[in-house]
Structure formats: C-alpha cells, structure tokens
Amino acid sequence: MAAGKSHVKKVLSALRRDYAVAECALRHENPFQLLIATILSAQCTDERVNLVTKDLFAKYPGPHELANLPLSKLEQAIQSTGFFRNKAKNIQGCCQKLVAEHGGEVPRDLEALVKLPGVGRKTANVVLGTAFGDATGVVVDTHVTRLSNRLGLTTESDAVKIERDLMTQLPKKEWIMFSHRMIHHGRRVCNARKPLCAQCSFNSFCPRIGVENSA
C-alpha cells in the first residue's frame, strides 16, 4: 500500500517541525545497554525500564558480568518489567552468545543481531539505528503501528508488512528519526484511546483512518 508522495512529505515535514529533537527514551551509554534495555522494554514502559537498568548496569555493566549472573538473581533484578522469566532467559542467553561468539561486543550487523536470543527485527533495528546510526529498517512498535494506520501510510497490522510499506515510501535518510518522532507524537498527541485531533498539528492532512473517539 502506498500513500501519495505529497501526503508522505506532509507527514515527514510535520514530524520534523514538531519533533526536531526526538531521542530514544531508553537510557543507555553504549550499544550493549541499549540492546538489553530494548529487550526489557517489551510490554513495559520506558520509565520502568530506565529505573531497572539504572541499578542493573551499575552492578553488571557488560555482557561478561550478566552472562555469569545466576538466572534467579537476574530474574529478581528485572522482575518489575514483567515477563521477567522469559526476559531473564533471553538476556542471559544473549550475553553468553555475545561473549562466546562476538568477543563481548554487540555486532553491527542485522543478520548476526537477530540470531541472538530475545532479539527480533525490531530490537535489531533499534540498536543499529540508534546506537550505530545505521538505517537498516524502520522500527515498528505499537505507536508506529497505530499512527501509520491512522495517517494512511499502511493498512497492515503485521509489523513486518508495515515496515515494508514504510521502507518503500520513506527516504532511507528518514528511517531512524521517523520512528523516534512517531513514538513521541503517539505518546503526546495521537494517543491510543482518545487521540487529541483538535489540537493536533497534523489535523489538516490526516485522514484519521479508524479514529472514532477523538478529543
């Protein structure tokens, strides 16, 4: 599915204007910390993840330390992020693989990243885009999914198909910041339950597809 080129341009310029500075909300100091924070962010708020990683990385700053941490201790440390048993297993497996196969470094490579436990295409795109500045794809999370549909950039609900639609329509140089900006707009204005359409600066060109309850 493809929106008109002029519509895509309007979306991009509105995003650039309203969110000139839009950064990843997950606090991190290096690619490894962003990788772990992104794994923890599944079904959890960024604020909660930031609270947990602050303590976690202070005690266990790198893959070597986390790879050797007993699973029960890791579970305890990340419990409040939800789905903690699964996340702990993935983080431990991921760190062990980083140590065993990548010299303790996060690989700057999509194929290698998605082979790590707990790392799918979305997480790999987050790490490559935000930590390395490599545009390998478009990060599609719940906000990007919702807004892309409302704005008429896709009709899909599956993240892989949405990403394909976005990669087709957006210039590659926009891929990284597009997601950051859409996430900010989704949080501040285009909320899931009651989007603030009357106050939204996209109002004049947004088709508001599927929006029934706006404020």
What amino acid positions are annotated as catalytic residues? Answer: 122, 141
For the bound state, the minimum distance from the C-beta of residue 150 to ligand SF4, rounded and expressed in Å, comes to: 4
Q: Is 211 in the site for ligand SF4 (CB under 6 A)?
A: yes
Inter-axis angle of helices 46-59 and 31-40, to 10 degrees?
Answer: 130
Window of 54-62, 81-89, 109-117, 187-195 that interacts with ligand SF4 by CB under 6 A? 187-195
- Tokens of residue 80, six digits: 């409040």
Say if residues 83 and 59 touch (Cβ distance below 8 Å).
no
Q: Is 96 in the site for ligand SF4 (CB under 6 A)?
A: no
From 28, 87, 122, 150, residue interacting with ligand SF4 (rule: CB under 6 A): 150
How many residues of this chain interact with ligand SF4, rule: CB under 6 A?
A: 14
Window of 62-70, 112-120, 125-133, 204-212 that interacts with ligand SF4 by CB under 6 A? 204-212
Q: Give, in order, the Cα–Cα distances in Å from 79 to each of 28, 73, 105, 188.
A: 19, 10, 26, 28
CA-to-CA distance for 137 and 126, rounded, in angstroms? Answer: 9
For the bound state, the minimum distance from the C-beta of residue 4 to ligand SF4, rounded and expressed in Å, comes to: 16
Window of 31-39, 107-115, 166-174, 202-210 that interacts with ligand SF4 by CB under 6 A? 202-210
Q: Is 196 in the site for ligand SF4 (CB under 6 A)?
A: yes
Say if residues 112 and 91 touch (Cβ distance below 8 Å).
no
Q: Is 208 in the site for ligand SF4 (CB under 6 A)?
A: yes
- Binding residues for ligand SF4 (CB under 6 A): 150-151, 189-190, 195-197, 200, 202-203, 206, 208, 211, 214
